[in-house]
Structure 1
Amino acid sequence: MDEVHERATEILGHGLVDILRSSDHHDDPTLVRLAFQCGMIEYARWMSASWFFEDPEDEQLLADIYQRVRASQDQVAAGRWRALTHAHVQELIHGTPELGDYFVDAFVNVLLTAGFKSSSAALHALVAKRFSDRIAALVRLALGLNKAVGTEVTACELKTLSAAPGIPFDVETMVDVVDGAGQASEAVLCTCELGLSRSDKVDGVWTRSILLKPKVVLPSGVEELLAQGGNTPTRTAA
């Protein structure tokens, strides 16, 4: 369980993991559902921005090279390098990456952290079988986003955004999805919807604008979510 909690914390952050571990979920699965959303968002963000999906060292090398190209070349050249590199590097992937397993692992770790009684292997097999179609749809959407921002758009630089758990809430770059009245003194609990930024190089200087703010949940919003009777930021009553 220590390993499960560690993996869950890497994706969800300490705050949400602590809440999952200390709450009773038998009568109200709201917090579990929120943790599912958070896990999906983080892996979808990673997939949308990944160069290679495989070796973290290769990922970092390509990211470092791109930052050098980005700093030294004009926007057109940098965008074309990014698009060509994304396209050709992903052609080197051996077979089809099992990206759906990341989502399954996230769901399993959430359930085990929340107190679900099962072995990790049995729960992994159950989740993978029962939700295979929905997980495959998530992967297709994430890969489509990866292609769009990585290879299809060169006139500017687009990047998916999420707010890391624990960072201060910033009204200029985030939206408090529960009540819209987040305070800068609060730390982000999790992100439940991705945002999008656009960067342009003007006179040698990169400038960034937020096209879509990521939607976040703050600790002060947890009680309100629970009071909504099972509704979460992306699941509302009919």
Structure 2
Amino acid sequence: MTVPSLLGVVAASVMGIFCFRLSSSKDELQESRDALLSNNAELEERVKELEAEVERTKQKAENAYRDERAKTTAQMAKAASEIKGFQDRATKLQNDNEHLKSKHSKEVQYLRDELGTANHKQVELRKLVDMQASELSTAREFTFMVDNVAAADITRIVQELNAANFQAAMQFLSILPLEADDGSDVDHQFIDQLRDRATHAVGRRLIEIAAQSKETDESFLILAFQSVLAYICHSAITSWMYGSHNEAGLLNATYERIRDSEQQAVAGRWRALTNKQITSLAGRRTNDAIRRDIIWGLVGILIAVGWEVNPQSARAAVVAELDDAVEEIMGVISRISKAIREDFISEDLQVVCAAGGATYDPSTMEVEEGGMPKKGPKDKYVPKVLATSELGLASRTRNGGMQMILKSKVHLH
């Protein structure tokens, strides 16, 4: 066989093999193509499902975001409203505070000054109390001290004070009527204060009766003058420091403790030494306060019963016409205070004054002539004190009781 023939045979064999393999590859490719198309269809279906799931998830997220945003917006709006309310209230409180600070700054300063003064007085009083308490340790030698004045002498001085009060009341009545108030330069608040003080001192019922009868029956007006003078005298005599309630309360409480724990002579000695010291320190100030209250007390009665008077003009009239009478009253007050607190050691004597409206007690009170209401024997009523016209005198006992030496004279209603 020739070479060309051999080559032809080889070529034919190769072509046969190629054609066989090509046919086999086409079948495999077709199968692969079909499988691939099937996979693509499945993948496309899966992609669609995933896209739908993503869309649903996205929609849920958007809805949740919108809901959360709306909720947050509402909460922020509510919080903003509350903050605005807080700011408004804070602004109002700040404005009110500034207004109050501006309004009361002077009052606060005044109170601070008064507090400083009161604290200083408390310190001085405590020093005085400590000094007297120290002296008590050596006070046994005074156990048998003799009184420098008798109780009967003090009784006569109290009766002298009652007479001086009556004379002052009659003298004040004699200068009435005073110049009427023309309404100019009048402090109406001060007038109200004078009226209230006078009413408190003598009682509203007496003021009403005196106001109704001042043009026809002067006896009730005189009684009102006597009653206010008795009230002021009683306060001046019974107070350790007239017009200084805190200090007087401290001294009174201290004396009560000493009186309950020591013999009467020792307690009386402490009382005498303390009163002497107080008189030397505050005597002038106390006298000025008593004089002022007597004058304004009489003027206050006039105003309370309805007299149209200028307070300052009325005060000037009292000073001009009753100065000697007022000085006499103050002198007797001073003598009684000294006698009761310093000179009479063996007992505790006390000037007594029945308050208006109190129930009548015949064991401590005496109805003054003309002081009994006009009621028949069949009338049933509880006698009440209308006013005290004259002060009484009593001896205090340790158990809080009183033994009358001189009954106070009263009018009933």
Class of the TM-score when normalised by the shorter of the 2 chains = 0.7 to 0.9
Q: Which residue of 1 aligns with 2:244?
A: 55
- The aligned runs of 1:95-174 (5 Å cut-off) are 95-96=284-285, 97-98=287-288, 99-174=290-365
| Candidates 64, 73, 85, aligned match of 2:274 | 85
* Higher helix proportion: 2
Q: Residue 282 of structure 2: SS of its match in structure 1?
A: coil
In structure 1, C-alpha distance between the alignment counterparts of 2:238 and 2:207, rounded to whole Å: 25
For residue 72 of structure 1, what is the aligned residue in structure 2?
261
The aligned counterpart of 1:233 is none
Give how far 1:53 is off. Answer: 2.3
Distance of 2:369 and 2:283 partners within structure 1:
43
| Cα distance between partner residues in 2 of 1:77 and 1:184 | 47
How many pairs does the alignment contain?
215
Do residues 185 (structure 1) and 382 (structure 2) align? yes
- 1:198–1:209 CA contact under 8 A, matched in 2: yes
Q: CA offset at residue 92 of structure 1?
A: 1.1
Deviates most, 100-109 or 43-52: 43-52
> Are residues 128 and 184 of structure 1, via their aligned partners in 2, closer, same or farther at CA, if it must alter by over 3 Å?
farther
User: What's the TM-score, normalizing by structure 2?
Assistant: 0.49
Q: Give 5+ residue unaligned stretches, structure 2.
A: 1-190, 374-379
Letter in 2 for 1:44: C
Structure 1 portions without partners, runs of 5+: 220-238
SS of match in other structure, 2:388: strand
Q: CA deviation at 1:112?
A: 1.2
Offset, 1:67: 1.4
Give the TM-score normalised by the residue count of structure 1. 0.83
Displacement, 1:149? 0.4
Output the CA distance in 2 between the equivalents of 1:206 and 1:60. Answer: 17
CA distance in 2, matches of 1:155, 1:29: 43
Cα separation, 2, equivalents of 1:94 and 1:173: 32
Larger relative contact order (CA 8 Å, sep ≥ 6): 1
How has the CA–CA distance of structure 1 residues 206 and 188 changed in structure 2, closer, same or farther, with 3 Å as cutoff? closer
Which secondary structure does the structure 2 equivalent of 1:46 belong to?
Answer: helix
Q: Contact 1:192–1:217 (CA<8 Å) still a contact in 2?
A: yes
Q: Mean alpha-carbon deviation: is it higher for 134-143 or for 94-103?
A: 94-103
Distance 2:207 2:322 in 1: 23
Letter in 1 for 2:194: V
Structure 1 counterpart of 2:402, one-letter code: R
Which of 1 and 2 has greater Rg?
2
Q: 2:393 maps to what in 1? A: 196
Is the counterpart of residue 38 in structure 1 residue 227 in structure 2? Answer: yes
Aligned amino acid, residue 131 of structure 1: L
Contact 2:194/2:300, CA 8 A, preserved across alignment: yes
Is the contact between residue 8 and residue 110 of structure 1 (CA under 8 Å) also seen in structure 2?
A: yes
Shift of the 4–94 alpha-carbon distance from structure 1 to 2, 3 Å rule, reads closer
Query: For residues 95 and 176 of structure 1, what CA distance do their matches in structure 2 show?
Result: 36
Contact kept in structure 1, 2:213 and 2:220, CA below 8 Å: no
C-alpha deviation, 1:55, in angstroms:
1.6
Letter in 2 for 1:198: S
Contact conserved, 1:51 with 1:90, CA < 8 A, in 2?
A: no
Q: Can you list the C-alpha shifts for 1:38-86, whole angstroms capped at 9, x where unaligned?
A: 0111111122222222422111111111111122222111111111111
CA contact (8 A) 1:20 1:113 kept: no
What is aligned with 2:204? 14
1:66-122 CA-to-partner distances (Å, cap 9, x unmatched) read 111122222111111111111111111174531222111111011112222211111
Deviation at residue 178 of structure 1 after TM alignment: 2.9
Residues in 2 aligned to 1:175 and 1:197: alpha-carbon distance in whole angstroms: 14
CA distance in 1, matches of 2:240, 2:291: 17
- In structure 1, C-alpha distance between the alignment counterparts of 2:314 and 2:367, rounded to whole Å: 33
1:63 maps to a residue whose letter is N
Q: Secondary structure of 2:385's match?
A: coil
1:216 aligns with 2:410: yes
**8 A contact 1:5–1:17 mirrored in 2:** no
Tell me the residue number matched to 2:192: 2
Alignment match, 1:232 = none
CA distance in 1, matches of 2:371, 2:323: 34
**Are the structure 2 counterparts of residues 184 and 161 from structure 1 closer, same or farther at C-alpha, using a change threshold of 3 Å?**
farther
Residue 2 of structure 1 deviates from its aligned partner by 3.4
Q: Which amino acid aligns with 1:32?
A: L
Displacement after TM superposition at 1:200 (Å): 4.6
1:1-58, CA deviations, whole angstroms, 9 ceiling, x for partnerless residues? Answer: 533331112211121122233x142343221111000011111112222222242211
